[in-house]
């Protein structure tokens, strides 16, 4: 129904305005628990124990979660969980409050079911967002991760300042998060991707690990799909040596290869991170490489182009423990997480599969 009714109307609006409207619509669901219960009953199937994923010491009721970027300031976590997501990654937040980059900064590519954004981590600051999340944390009902990034005002050539900036964000959010994802791969913050290099990554994650002692939370790194093999190896060597809990693969891409959208339109949009189906193949390749390199000792979260249950299965079989969607949620609508969970259950029924772990090794239709 969403594809034929609400989406055409929302897509008449600029992407930013449509996002604002969608958030406004979720407001009553966020505030009123009877409405959340009704929405969950209508859109999300009953939890099936076969979908349970145990990772990082946490229980995820479904492998499918919401990627960072949709709810940057933890304004609608209870409403989003009611739609049937198995976890939420909120943010990205920064130590210093900052506005979005100059509009237009968000673009649709309907021919590719993709988005391009150059928002640049707009948020009220990690402390304020953490306070908001803390007030509603008990009512969310699924694991919640917080994504942290670099404040735009911090000089890109001052590694010590960058590390301290991340540490400030981490200390602000760690008390309200089940896990923390360190975003060093957004293309929309100048110089950020240099933090994926070995020297920078060791300094950053070493400092975060030193702070992650009292009631530690799982720490993950989110990496770019544009890293070459050597670059991936550098990041993964740091993941291994520092002992991070996992890797999120992948962020958006600066590549524009193979798009159905007219080249002139893409060129006119300009810079920004591309997300959606065009990055799925690369993200799957990166997930496979991570799993092959690091074995079963860490958690791998696959992100990029997820729209249907078979895409979730692709990521699981590539080596992911958990999967996230963002752009697919925009194109498929609020029923997407519950519908995908229902599809997974139906596939398991047909194939006699008893758990998510068995999906990775068993034929499934």
The pTM assigned to this predicted structure is 0.96
352 within a domain of the structure (yes/no): yes
Whichever domain contains 245, its CATH number is 3.20.20.70
Residues 164/171, Cβ–Cβ less than 8 Å:
no
Residue 258 inside a domain? The answer is no
Q: What total number of domains does the chain contain?
A: 1
261 lies in some domain: no
CA gap 345, 330 in Å, rounded: 23
The verdict on whether 351 is a catalytic residue reads no
CB 24 within 8 A of CB 107: no
Q: Is 86 helix (H, G, I), strand (E, B) or coil?
A: coil
Asked whether residue 259 is assigned to any structural domain, the reply reads no
Among 62, 151, 185, 186, the one annotated catalytic: 186
Q: Which domain holds residue 27?
A: 6-252+273-357
Structural domain contains residue 99: yes
Contact, 96 vs 258, CB < 8 A? no
Q: Does 247 reside within a domain? A: yes
Strand pairing of 299-303 and 246-249?
Answer: parallel
Per-residue confidence (pLDDT) for residue 292, from 0 to 100: 96
Q: What is the pLDDT along the chain (365 residues), one digit of tens a residue?
A: 677 778 888 899 999 999 999 999 999 999 999 999 999 999 998 889 999 999 999 999 999 999 999 999 999 999 999 999 999 999 999 999 999 999 999 999 999 999 999 999 999 999 999 999 999 999 999 999 999 999 999 999 999 999 999 999 999 999 999 999 999 999 888 888 888 988 999 999 999 999 999 999 999 999 999 999 999 999 999 999 999 999 999 999 999 999 999 999 999 999 999 999 999 999 999 999 999 999 998 999 999 999 999 999 999 999 999 999 999 999 999 999 999 999 999 999 998 989 998 887 766 65
| Helix intervals (H) in the chain | 6-10, 15-31, 33-43, 77-82, 126-136, 159-173, 198-211, 229-242, 263-269, 280-294, 309-318, 327-332, 336-351, 356-359
Q: Pick from 232, 230, 264: which is nearest to 251 by CA?
A: 232
Write out 279-343 in H/E/C secondary structure: HHHHHHHHHHHHHHHHCCCCEEEEECCCCCHHHHHHHHHHCCCEEEECHHHHHHCCCHHHHHHHH
């Amino acid at each position: 129904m969403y594809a034929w009714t609400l989406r055409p109307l929302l897509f008449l609006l600029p992407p930013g305005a449509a996002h604002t409207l969608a958030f406004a619509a979720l407001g009553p669901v966020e505030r009123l628990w009877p409405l959340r219960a009704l929405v969950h009953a209508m859109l999300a199937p009953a939890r099936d124990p076969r979908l349970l994923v145990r990772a990082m010491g946490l229980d995820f009721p479904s492998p499918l979660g919401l990627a960072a970027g949709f709810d940057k300031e933890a304004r609608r976590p209870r409403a989003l969980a009611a739609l049937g997501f198995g976890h939420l990654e909120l943010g990205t937040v920064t130590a210093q409050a900052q506005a979005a980059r100059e509009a237009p900064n968000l673009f649709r590519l309907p021919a590719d079911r993709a988005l391009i954004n150059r928002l640049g981590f707009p948020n009220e600051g990690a402390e304020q967002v953490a306070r908001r999340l803390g007030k509603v944390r008990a009512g969310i009902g699924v694991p919640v991760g917080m994504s942290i990034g670099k404040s735009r005002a911090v000089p890109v050539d001052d590694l010590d300042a960058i590390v301290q900036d991340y540490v400030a964000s981490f200390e602000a959010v760690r008390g309200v998060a089940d896990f923390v994802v360190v975003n060093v791969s957004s293309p929309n913050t100048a110089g950020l991707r240099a933090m994926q290099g070995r020297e920078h990554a060791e300094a950053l994650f070493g400092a975060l690990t030193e702070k992650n002692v009292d009631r530690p939370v799982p720490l993950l790194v989110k990496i770019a799909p544009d890293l070459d093999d050597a670059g991936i190896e550098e990041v993964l060597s740091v993941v291994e040596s520092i002992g991070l809990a996992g890797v999120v693969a992948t962020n958006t891409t600066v590549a524009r290869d193979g798009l159905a959208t007219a080249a002139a339109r893409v060129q006119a949009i300009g810079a920004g991170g591309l997300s959606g189906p065009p990055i799925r193949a690369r993200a799957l390749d990166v997930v496979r490489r991570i799993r092959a390199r690091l074995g079963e000792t860490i958690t791998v979260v696959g992100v990029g182009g997820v729209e249907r249950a078979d895409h979730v299965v692709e990521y699981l079989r590539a080596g992911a423990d958990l999967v996230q969607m963002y752009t697919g949620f925009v194109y498929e609508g609020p029923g997407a997480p519950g519908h995908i969970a229902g599809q997974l259950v139906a596939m398991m029924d047909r194939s006699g599969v008893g758990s998510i772990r068995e999906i990775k090794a068993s034929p499934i239709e």
